[in-house]
């Protein structure tokens, strides 16, 4: 885009503006007159080839200066907004807002799969499963798992402390003693020494004679 240069004749000794022509380099008088018509929301009745006076030149210069000042202010506001947005984004990345706090507790078979659990077992033979815990509490948390059920010896597994996001998996075993169908084996999860369990898992087994 070409820069507009405006030149006008000087003020006379009496303090009045001269009626000398206004020269606009890079812009024809016709275009300048048309610009003034658009600027003031009207169309000139006089011919477009009429040469502008000094007052009209000063009006153009003042309007152009105001436009430049407005652009500088808008540019400054835009820079401040961009800096603020980048700063806020960096703060969110460094200090993420905590979501819902919870603990993930699951049971897997001995191959580490969440399927094909032992269904029919022999009395007196140990049953192996994997217990898994993932801490989503946004703070270090200690856990305890109790394994209970009809005809089995109760078992307790203690996990001293898990950091937020840390995972714990361990193979555990229990031995069913009594024969029967659809016997319940319950896995109770406690955290931070609480008396009430926060979660439980249930496994059904059929115990047969050796």
Residue that is last in its domain, among 28, 60, 94:
94
Whether residues 117 and 50 fall in one domain: no
Whether residues 86 and 115 fall in one domain: no
Whether residues 84 and 111 fall in one domain: no
Q: Which residues pair with 172 in a beta bridge?
A: 129
What pLDDT does residue 92 have? 66
Nearest by Cα to 66 from 55, 76, 58: 58
Residue that is last in its domain, among 27, 60, 94:
94
What pLDDT does residue 6 have? 43
Q: Which runs of consecutive H residues, i.e. helices, occur in 95-188?
A: none
Domain count, the chain: 2
CATH of the domain at 151: 2.60.40.10
Question: Pseudo-torsion of CA 66, 20, 7, 39, nearest 10°?
Answer: 30
Whether residues 107 and 203 fall in one domain: yes
Whether residues 66 and 120 fall in one domain: no
Neighbours of 101 (CB within 10 A): 12
What pLDDT does residue 58 have? 53
Range of the domain at 196: 102-208
Whether residues 178 and 112 fall in one domain: yes
Residue that is last in its domain, among 94, 124, 147:
94
Neighbours of 176 (CB within 10 A): 25
Whether residues 199 and 119 fall in one domain: yes
Q: Render each residue's pLDDT in the chain as its tens digit; 210 residues.
A: 444 444 444 444 444 444 444 444 444 444 444 444 444 444 444 444 445 555 555 565 555 565 666 777 878 888 888 888 887 777 666 665 667 789 999 999 999 998 999 999 999 999 999 999 999 999 999 999 999 998 888 899 999 899 999 999 999 999 999 999 999 999 999 999 999 999 999 999 999 998
Give CA–CA dist 145/167, Å, rounded: 15
Whether residues 123 and 183 fall in one domain: yes
Whether residues 78 and 14 fall in one domain: yes
pTM exceeds 0.75? no
Tokens of 34: 């048309």
Whether residues 77 and 114 fall in one domain: no
């Amino acid at each position: 885009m070409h820069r507009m240069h405006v030149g006008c004749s000087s003020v006379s000794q009496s303090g009045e503006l001269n009626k000398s022509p206004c020269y606009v380099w890079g812009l024809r008088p016709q275009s300048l007159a048309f610009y003034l018509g658009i600027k003031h929301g009207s169309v000139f009745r006089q011919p477009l080839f009429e040469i502008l006076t000094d007052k009209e030149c000063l009006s153009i210069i003042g309007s152009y200066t105001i436009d430049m000042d407005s652009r500088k202010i808008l540019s400054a506001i835009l820079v401040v907004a961009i800096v603020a947005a980048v700063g806020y984004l960096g703060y969110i990345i460094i200090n993420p807002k905590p979501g819902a706090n919870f603990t993930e507790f699951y049971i897997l078979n001995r191959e580490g799969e969440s399927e094909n659990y032992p269904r029919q077992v022999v009395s007196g033979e140990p049953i192996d499963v994997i217990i898994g815990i993932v801490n989503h509490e946004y703070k270090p948390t200690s856990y305890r798992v109790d394994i209970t059920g009809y005809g089995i010896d109760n078992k307790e597994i203690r996990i001293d402390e898990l950091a937020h996001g840390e995972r714990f998996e361990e193979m555990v075993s229990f031995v069913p003693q009594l024969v029967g169908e659809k016997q319940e084996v319950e896995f109770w999860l406690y955290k931070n020494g609480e008396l009430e369990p926060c979660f439980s898992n249930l496994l059904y087994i059929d115990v047969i004679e050796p």
